[in-house]
């Protein structure tokens, strides 16, 4: 290989390329997904040390910022988007790919339990990169669709039956969890028993190997909601929390959520002794 071609390859010109294709259109947290990885040779032979895959998402965090031109040195907060790696995998396949050659690898990956659902502004994507020595790593980014498992899907269905329509879903920074964020779902009552009484219902969902945990906060005030996440951050004593064993069926879990919200509603309206 000429020095000119080596230089071009190190700059990514005429370099090898990578493309990942998922074997299913929709991902479900806790399930497995098959991925076919295609590596394509460039203008010259290149040695691939390994293949890296990262499942990523983005959440919103608050960061302090100072105003240098303010003599009072006030500190304000600004909301920033932070990329997070949910999980990463490395395929220890060391090989040399020749010009015009195509290499294919098939892998099966576990989708983490708390992978955000791609609703509202929440995004999830898969990054694939070829580790090439002394070169810009060729990479591929694929946006993904993540939908709820059967239990959460049934819960959302029953909420809809109660007249609660999902308005927004967003990942926001929170402490006290294995991940640096939680996903928050905002519902508004358009019909049904809560219409006219509740302005908004916020739900945070978090799953582990034993149970599905849900936190609820109801906004009954016209002035707006203080924020469920603000109470989650740094708090160990959370109210309106419901834990559902993974041994329950989807129907049983959804029924417990309906009963829980009904009790919240009745207690707030003085219907219970």
pLDDT in tens, 237-264: 335 899 999 999 999 999 999 999 999 8
Q: Any idea what the CATH number is for the domain that residue 119 is in?
A: 2.60.40.640
Q: Name the band, by pLDDT with cuts 50, 70 and 90, for residue 66.
A: low
Residue 261: its pLDDT value, please? Answer: 94
pLDDT in tens, 91-103: 988 999 999 999 9
Residue 134 predicted with pLDDT over 50: yes
Given a contact cutoff of 8 angstroms between Cβ atoms, the answer to whether 50 and 93 are in contact is yes
Lowest-pLDDT choice from 159-163, 195-199, 265-269: 265-269
Domain boundary at 118, 146, 174, which? 146
Residue predicted with more confidence, 64 or 206: 206
Q: Which of 184, 119, 120, 191 is closest to 148 using CA atoms? A: 119
As for how many domains the chain has, the answer is 2
Domain boundary at 146, 170, 189, which? 146
Q: Check whether residue 44 and residue 126 sit in a common domain.
A: yes
Average pLDDT for the chain: 84
Q: Average pLDDT in the 88-115 region?
A: 93
Q: Name the band, by pLDDT with cuts 50, 70 and 90, for residue 73.
A: low
Q: Residue 104's beta-bridge partner residues?
A: 38
Whether 70 is in a domain gets the answer: yes
Residue 3 predicted with pLDDT over 70: no
Residue 90: its pLDDT value, please? Answer: 94
For residue 10, the tally of other CB atoms under 10 A from its CB is 15
Q: Check whether residue 235 and residue 100 sit in a common domain.
A: no
Residues 6+ apart with CB under 8 A from 137: 129, 130, 131
Rg (CA), the chain: 24
């Amino acid at each position: 290989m000429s020095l000119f071609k080596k230089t071009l390859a190190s700059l990514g010109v005429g370099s090898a390329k990578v493309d990942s294709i998922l074997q299913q259109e929709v991902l479900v947290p806790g399930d497995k997904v098959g991925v076919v990885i295609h590596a394509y040779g460039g203008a010259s032979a290149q040695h691939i040390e390994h293949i890296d895959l990262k499942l990523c998402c983005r959440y919103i965090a608050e960061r302090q910022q100072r105003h240098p031109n303010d003599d009072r040195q006030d500190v304000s907060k600004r909301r920033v988007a932070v990329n997070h790696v949910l999980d990463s995998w490395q395929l220890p396949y060391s090989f040399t790919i020749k010009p015009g050659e195509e290499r294919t690898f098939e892998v099966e990956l576990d989708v983490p339990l708390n992978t955000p659902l791609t609703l509202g502004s929440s995004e999830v994507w898969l990054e694939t990169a070829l580790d090439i020595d002394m070169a810009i790593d060729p990479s591929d980014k694929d946006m993904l669709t993540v939908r709820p498992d059967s239990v959460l899907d049934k819960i959302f269905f029953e909420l809809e039956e109660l007249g609660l329509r999902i308005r927004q879903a967003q990942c926001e920074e929170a402490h006290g969890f294995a991940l640096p964020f939680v996903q928050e779902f905002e519902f508004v009552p358009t019909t049904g028993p809560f219409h006219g009484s509740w302005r908004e219902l916020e739900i945070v969902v978090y799953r582990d190997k034993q149970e599905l945990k849900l936190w609820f906060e109801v906004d009954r005030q016209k002035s707006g909601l203080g924020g469920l996440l603000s109470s989650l951050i740094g708090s160990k004593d959370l109210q309106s929390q419901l834990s559902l064993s993974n041994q329950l069926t989807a129907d049983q879990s959804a029924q417990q959520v309906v009963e829980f919200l009904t009790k919240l509603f009745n207690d707030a309206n003085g219907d219970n002794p």
